[in-house]
Structures are given as structure tokens and as C-alpha cells.
A and B are shown apart, each in its own frame.
Chain A
């Protein structure tokens, strides 16, 4: 039973709207760093408050909403009796972000980066997560009761996922508590090698799980998948062994421990080759795998003693963060959305100019910021009391931001067009079956 409310473009539209909004703020912030006199026009909504909005809407809006699409698909919310609630859930998520944005602009923050939720916004967001979870549970319940679940083998991983997801709202609620803070690397003030490895493994776990929710294995047998899971388990044990105490990146166990994540640079592409993917998602799949490789390699390199000491607190690490969010995550999310949306909707993201505007824009940004960070680390006055060279570099950065914004506007425009409306009644499953 196809439902026009349960269509992938609803997810894409909301996610892209937040991407455009977040990017527009980013461009505005880059402009403020070049023309600080413009700050006087902002009133109390100063640079610092907009930074919170910028970072959070990109994380929870752009990166979070496509994951809703994945969950809807995996738990069968796109079809059947629950499908009419997918759109309200996406709206609820967006409303939580609107409330959050208003709250951050009003200066309400927990003081924790990416976990700024506090007061009403914090409760609303956690309840949004709870609501999503309840609908997922209901979807599984109806599937089991109606016998629509194809097999127990399919239902068991779903149930396991439900159990894990059930902890997320509470985890978010407690993580926003100012009293909790992760281990500190005394030499940098940043995360320890163990924390970095833990984060990397969390992403690896997502990368390993997601194909099972959206596609099927290649008929050609391969041992790569099994090897990847064994490697993941081994690293997880190793990570637990590293512990969660404050530890310096100058300790060999910390930086060498993190370098074990390099194994995922070739392993993830090989793992993804063991699944069947749409032809339409090829360019974004390649892009995300290239960004993944770059992210892991630079992540390890930047953690080494001497290099981290130089780059910490500079634009060099800002560039690295962009590699993660705008490079790897964005390409990955678009790849997922193209896979979920099917051939009818693939055109939204597949225009050549916007693909290159985005990826080249991110690459140029990362290179510029790495260069800026390198200069800045030797000369703090370069940033604190800016001169001509810094302004030129920041102006070029602004241009890369405009390129990324233009690409995201193009995707949003495509998602909102009549063509998308016309075909949005075709549900994802139907499209895949075709």
C-alpha cells in the first residue's frame, strides 16, 4: 500500500532546507570574519550565538534527518498503516530544530559543543527522539502481528536495533548535562586517542550496518564482509582496553592505537563492494569513499605529536572538521538518500555542476584552512590582529562557502520542483521493485 505522505522527498526537502539554512549562516559567519563592522547589525544575535545555530542545524538537521529516512525504510514506516505518520515525524524533528535555533539565538546553551540543548528545547528534542522511537516500535509491532515481516532473521536485527535506539533519547538527555565531560588529552585539551578511536569505530559501525537496511548482498561470495566484522570486534576490544582516562597524544599507545583505524581506509570500500548498489548512486558512493579515506588518514596524521601541537585551536582543525561533515558525511548522506529515493529522484543530487561545486568547494576549503592553520600556529597575530594575507585567504574561503551554498540551493530547488511533486506518490519500495 503506497502512501503519498511517506515519500523520500519529504525527508530530502527537510534535510536540504536545513543544509541550505546552515550553509547560509556559514557564509554569513565567514563574511563577519572579513567585515567585522557588520556585527553591529546583528544586535544580540551575535557571531557566537549564530555559531551554535550553524553547527547544530547542520548536525541535527542535515545529518540527522536523512537518518530518519533510513529508519523509516528499515522499519517499514514507508508503507502500511504507520506510513501516514512519517511526514508528521519529520516535521516534529524540524520543529525541534526550530525551537533549538530560537533557543540558541536567545543565548540558551549548555555550553557543550554540539550538545547545546538546554531548557525547553532540550526536553522537546528528547521527546522528539522518544516519539520517533515509539513509532518505530509500533511499526515493528504491527509488522510482527500482521505477519508481514518476511522472517525472524529479518525481525531479530530490527528488534536489536529498537533496543539500542531506545537508549538514545536518554543518552542525549544526559550527555547535554554540563557535569559530564569526556576524557581530555592534557597536551592539547582535545579528545584522547582512545576517544578518537571510539568515535571512529562508532562511525564504522554505522557504515557496516547501513547497507543491510537499504540493499542486499552481492550474489558473488566474499570473505571481506566477515573479515570487516571481525576486525571491528577486535578493535572494539582494543579500544575498551585503552580505557577512558585522560591521556596524552604523546603516548605511543594513544597515537599508535588511533592509527589502527587506518585499516578501514581500504576495508570500507571493499566492504561496500560486497553489496548491490544503484547505478545512480555511483558518483556519490565514490565521493564518500574518497572522503572517508582522506578523513581517516588526516585524522590519524593530525593526532601525531608535533602535528597536533601545531594545528590545535587553529583553522587547520576547522578544515579537518569540514572534511568530516561537508566532505565525508554529506557525500555519504546523499549516497544514502539516492539509494533510498530510487532512480526517479536521483536527479535531485546528480547534476554535474552541483556535484563538483560541492566537492571541489569542500576540498578547496580544507586546503585553504590547512594553509591558514599552518601559518597561524606560528604567528597568533595572523588571526587575532588580521592583515592582508589572512583577509585574502578568508575571502577565498568565503568563495568556497558560496560554491557549497549554491550547490545545496540547487539540490533543494530540485527537491521542491514540480517534477519531484509529480513522482513523489511513488514510494521507495515501489521504486526499488521497479
Chain B
């Protein structure tokens, strides 16, 4: 008896999970592939999808008014069976008309199932922890869809699996005495009283679903983006886990009546994912944010009309759910797909507008509970905007030179956090980093970029020590050129003009009179004690870390940029096999300071002993193979 109760209490969660599985794996995914296999594309495909949307909208709105099937248990069973039938039919080859009919049936079935389900979910979830059970249901639904075997199954198998799931849940014991009354008989839901107006929530959900659908469409139709998101077993499991964790988190927040916070958080994740989609290199980060945002709002989409709706009456509750799913669900989704199709990206202004719309519920709530805070903050925001408009601004970007713009990029990226621009006179700085500047020269810079910490080399004379090509390649892939570098990649700066501006600025960092400094470099020798302490093993280690990348045929930097490096770096493995032996002193100077006017950089930070070890190893080891960098 007790176990039967337990099962009955989990009916709602099972139904929710089943609906998500059907919708995600079949309606949104497999059905499209099956249509494509039937040769339905472009306008015909759009017409079929429109038929599904029409079915969905129509039956979302009609379901609350269906007097002929008054029993909710019976009604949802009919919806489940119709949907299952549609999924089963989709695996047979369909004509255009047949596809329209099946698509309409899918929409209609889903309309009936979703609206009926959320209207009576509190009954099917039992009195205990209904909101948390709903979260579990959504989480499990997403998790199942991301199981590699399910996700990578053929479209036919996915359709049949979805049909089987819906048929199976149709046989759950759904009849319940609590379904019979016109209003909720349990007092449990009354604890979660409404506190947000329905239109505000509707707008927020529409914006979120619009964003979600658009992002989903763009990812699905870009090979690079798709490969970076839903590919590989490990990644699929990870995405499934993220969905599950955030679904539970969402349920916890909703339990504490934090729907505005859930919507804002969902937007923060989804909006970030949409912004990151513009940078294919960052798709891995987008792939983490996207499922988090989707799960957050998906749980709210079920729980709002079922547990925190403003109505106790089942009829009114159902009508509200109908409007929510028709407008936010079906129309929002269609608009999102349309945006993805037509623009191929999500405009930043749209993301920001969506953010404003999603924030409205939170703003309204705050205005009620903290009017002074809202008034003061809004007032200062407006005054600041007006002041910004009237205050004089610095030179517009288009009037600046590349070097000036590059300096601004240097400031914006916070390069000052790791790189100083100050050579201390009379210290070892001078030999390593170049001639010292006077305070007067430093003050002439606006502002001086002295910095206070060297996680990397001083850059005040970097233009003297590095070629533009090297600087660019190092900004794109630092560890390719310097084995143990802790510097992040700034490849994204080269997606627009910022990278080249930064290179121009860095290349400009050299003082006029360098003759004395070059003489000092030429006069340098590793100390006698350093030469005595030099070891081949250290030399080999350093070679593999810093030299092989350019000086071995299969070195990473050589493979990537061999056509850009001038002159082509000699293949030292070949040189070692020849009888030519370079003088170790000469090698040491090249290692330490590079070769002027070429792409060969110095390694100024290495100690005398390290330089001596490296030159010794390059000089002596002609037979030992060197592992690929």
C-alpha cells in the first residue's frame, strides 16, 4: 500500500520527464531529421513546422475549454496516445501533406498533454515536495536526452523510443479523487501564493524561449558550434549532469518563491551563452552556460502555471497555462528559430533587450519591497547617463593611430597586471629588458604604464627585442612559442582590429638610441662559473621547452607559422647531424638576446647557467633524438 502511494506521488515527475524526452528528442530533433530524409526542405519544411506550431497553439488554447473530455486523466491519456501515434507515424516515409498532418498531430498532442499536465500537476505529484519532484522530472528528462546511446541513436529509433515513452506513461494510474473538484482540494499549493503578475512572467518566458530557440538553431546549423557542444560521450554526460543539477537548483529556488531570481539567472546563463556563440573558439564555455540557463527556466515553465499560478480554480489555471504555452512556448520558439534562420547570429541588442524584459519581474518586486532603493538607484542611473552625454569625451577611436589604439587595448586587457614598463637604471634590468627611461619620459605618457608586478617580462623596450610577427604569434598562442608560459591566449583580439593595433603598439615600444645597448649585448658572455656549472640534461630540457617548437621540423610553431617566420628558423636536428659546429659563445648570445631584425627572439630571463647549458647541448649533441615539442 505504501509503495503504491510512493509511485502515485511520483506520477507528476514521471509525466514531466516523459514530456521533455518526447519534446526534445523527437519533436525538436528526430522529427526534423526524418523530414529531411523524406526530402522535405526549405519552404516545405517551414510549412510542416508551422503546422506543428498551429497545432500546438490551437490545442494549448482549446484544451482548457474541451468540455467533451472533462476527466483530466482521460484527456491527458488521449494527448499522450495521439502524440505517440504521431511519433510512430513519422518513421514511415511521408508525403508533404502527410507530414503536415503528422506535424499538426504532434503539436495538438503536445498542447493537450502540457496544458493538462501542468494544470493538475500538484495532484499527480502528491502533497509532499511537489515542486522538488517537478525539478527532478525536468532534470531526468534532460538527462535521458543526453545519454549518448539516446542522443546518438538514429532518428527512427529516437521517434520510436519517444512513442514508447508516451505510451508507457499513458498507462500510469492517473485517476485521482482530487482531479474531480473545480478547485484544488489540497491546501499545500496555497502556501505558494502568487506574487508576480502573469503578463510580466509571460513576457519574461517569451524572451527566454526566443533566446533559447535561436541559440539552439544556430548551434545545430553550424558544424563548428555543434562539434563544440553536443559531441563526444563525456561532453554529453557532462551536459546532462549540468541540466540535472540546475533543474534541481531551480526547483529549490522556486520552493523559496524566487521565480524572479530564477528567470534572471536563466537569462544570465543563456545570454552569456548567446554572446559566446559569436566566438566559435569559446564554444566550450557556451556549452556549459547554455544547459544551465535552459534547465533553470524549463523548471520554472512547468512550476509557474502548476504551483505558483495566481489561480486556485483548475479552469482558470488551465487557461493561463494555455496562454503561456501558446505565446511563450510555441510563438516564442518559432520567432527564435526564425531569427536563427534569417540572421545566423543573435544580435547583442536583442540579448540586452531580452535581459531588460526578463528583469522586469524582479524590478517590479523590488519596487514594491524597496521603493527608496529603486528610486534612488534609478535616479542616479538616469543622471549619470545624462552627464555622460554632456561631458567631453576623449578622442574618438577613428582619429587615433594604430599605436594609440593599441595602447588602449593594452590598458583594457589589464596587461599592466603582469607586465611592467620600467627598466630600473643601473640594475640587471638594463641588460635583460633594454635601455632605461628617465622619469620625464615616463611622465609624458598618459597614463604611465609602469605596473607593479612582473609575472612576465618587462615590455618597455619589447619592440627592440621582438619582431611584430613573433609578437602576433605569441599573443595568439603563447605556449606554442614559450613552453612554460603562463600567459593566456589573446587570439580573440585578432577577430577584429584590436590584435594588430596591440602588436603595433608593442612594436613601437623602443627608444631611439639603442646603439649602446646593442654593444652591451654583444659584449655579454656567460660568467665563467656559469659555464662550469652548465649541464647537458638542463640544456636538453630547455631546448625541448623553448627551442624545438621552431627549430625542429615537426615543432608546433614551425608547423603553424613556417611561412611567416623570417628567415625560416634553421632545423637544428639537421644542423646537429652536419659537421658544422657553432661556437658556444655565439650560440649563448643568440639564445640570450635573439638576432636583431629577425623573428628569432631572445630568452633574456634565463640565467647564465641556463644559457650556457642550452648552448652546450645544442653544440654537443648531434646524435641524440629530440622528442617532438
CB distance B391 to A91 under 8 Å? Answer: no
> From residue 228 to 252 of chain A, which have CB atoms closer than 8 A to chain B?
246
Given contacts A39-B489, A43-B282, A95-B377, contact A313 B413 (CB under 8 A): no
CB distance A111 to B488 under 8 Å? Answer: no
Min distance, Cβ B603 to any Cβ of chain A, angstroms: 9
Q: Which residue of B lies closest to A247 (CB)?
A: B439
CB distance B373 to A91 under 8 Å? Answer: yes
Which residues on the A side are within 8 Å of B451 (C-beta)?
A: 313
Confirm or deny: B380 has a beta carbon within 8 angstroms of a beta carbon on chain A: yes
Query: Which of B279, B447, B490, B607 is within 8 Å of A111, CB to CB?
Result: B447
State A40–B443 Cα separation when bound (angstroms).
36
CB distance B388 to A120 under 8 Å? Answer: yes
CB distance A87 to B372 under 8 Å? Answer: yes
Which residues on the A side are within 8 Å of B448 (C-beta)?
A: 181, 184
Confirm or deny: A389 has a beta carbon within 8 angstroms of a beta carbon on chain B: no
Which residues on the B side are within 8 Å of A246 (C-beta)?
A: 439, 443
Confirm or deny: A430 has a beta carbon within 8 angstroms of a beta carbon on chain B: no
> From residue 12 to 42 of chain A, which have CB atoms closer than 8 A to chain B?
32-33, 36, 39-42
Confirm or deny: B376 has a beta carbon within 8 angstroms of a beta carbon on chain A: yes
Q: Residue-by-residue, is B439-477 near A (CB-CB < 8 Å gives 1, otherwise 0)?
A: 100110011111111111110000000000000000000
Min distance, Cβ B224 to any Cβ of chain A, angstroms: 16
Which residues on the A side are within 8 Å of B373 (C-beta)?
A: 87-88, 91-92
Confirm or deny: B180 has a beta carbon within 8 angstroms of a beta carbon on chain A: no
Given contacts A109-B414, A113-B452, contact A47 B488 (CB under 8 A): yes
CB distance B432 to A380 under 8 Å? Answer: yes
State A317–B424 Cα separation when bound (angstroms).
16
CB distance B420 to A313 under 8 Å? Answer: yes
State A106–B417 Cα separation when bound (angstroms).
16
CB distance B545 to A48 under 8 Å? Answer: no
Confirm or deny: B483 has a beta carbon within 8 angstroms of a beta carbon on chain A: yes
Query: Which of B285, B388, B607 is within 8 Å of A379, CB to CB?
Result: B607
Min distance, Cβ B596 to any Cβ of chain A, angstroms: 21
Given contacts A123-B391, A127-B383, contact A313 B438 (CB under 8 A): no
Confirm or deny: B629 has a beta carbon within 8 angstroms of a beta carbon on chain A: no
Which residues on the A side are within 8 Å of B489 (C-beta)?
A: 39-40
Min distance, Cβ A122 to any Cβ of chain B, angstroms: 9
CB distance B412 to A109 under 8 Å? Answer: yes
The total of chain B residues at the interface (CB under 8 A) is: 69
State A49–B388 Cα separation when bound (angstroms).
23
Confirm or deny: B384 has a beta carbon within 8 angstroms of a beta carbon on chain A: yes
State A40–B373 Cα separation when bound (angstroms).
38
| Interface secondary structure of B, over-half rule | loop
Which residues on the B side are within 8 Å of A47 (C-beta)?
A: 414, 417-418, 488
Given contacts A113-B452, A184-B439, contact A385 B424 (CB under 8 A): no
Given contacts A91-B377, A110-B447, A181-B447, contact A120 B412 (CB under 8 A): no
Chain A CB count within 10 A is highest, among B422, B438, B485, B546, for B422
Chain B CB count within 10 A is highest, among A314, A381, A387, for A381
> From residue 299 to 317 of chain A, which have CB atoms closer than 8 A to chain B?
309, 312-315, 317
Q: Residue-by-residue, is B272-286 near A (CB-CB < 8 Å gives 1, otherwise 0)?
A: 000010010010110
Which residues on the B side are within 8 Å of A113 (C-beta)?
A: 416, 452
Which residues on the B side are within 8 Å of A161 (C-beta)?
A: none
CB distance A190 to B384 under 8 Å? Answer: no
Query: Which of A42, A48, A91 is within 8 Å of B416, CB to CB?
Result: A48
Q: Which residue of A lies closest to B407 (CB)?
A: A111
Which residues on the B side are within 8 Å of A104 (C-beta)?
A: 414
CB distance A127 to B380 under 8 Å? Answer: yes
Confirm or deny: A344 has a beta carbon within 8 angstroms of a beta carbon on chain B: no
Min distance, Cβ B214 to any Cβ of chain A, angstroms: 20
CB distance A36 to B387 under 8 Å? Answer: no
CB distance A309 to B424 under 8 Å? Answer: yes
Query: Which of A48, A112, A119, A184 is within 8 Å of B442, CB to CB?
Result: A184
Given contacts A43-B285, A123-B387, contact A36 B487 (CB under 8 A): yes
Contacts A41-B284, A127-B384 supplied; 9 other A-B pairs, CB < 8 Å: A84-B372, A120-B385, A123-B391, A131-B376, A181-B443, A187-B426, A381-B606, A383-B454, A385-B483
* 30 residue pairs from A and B, CB less than 8 Å apart: A33-B455, A36-B488, A41-B285, A43-B276, A48-B415, A48-B416, A48-B417, A88-B373, A88-B376, A88-B377, A109-B411, A109-B412, A111-B411, A111-B416, A113-B416, A120-B388, A127-B380, A179-B446, A180-B447, A181-B448, A184-B439, A189-B424, A313-B453, A317-B452, A380-B604, A383-B454, A383-B456, A384-B456, A384-B485, A385-B485
Q: Which 6 A-B pairs have the closest CB atoms?
A: A48-B414, A189-B422, A107-B412, A39-B488, A111-B411, A51-B417
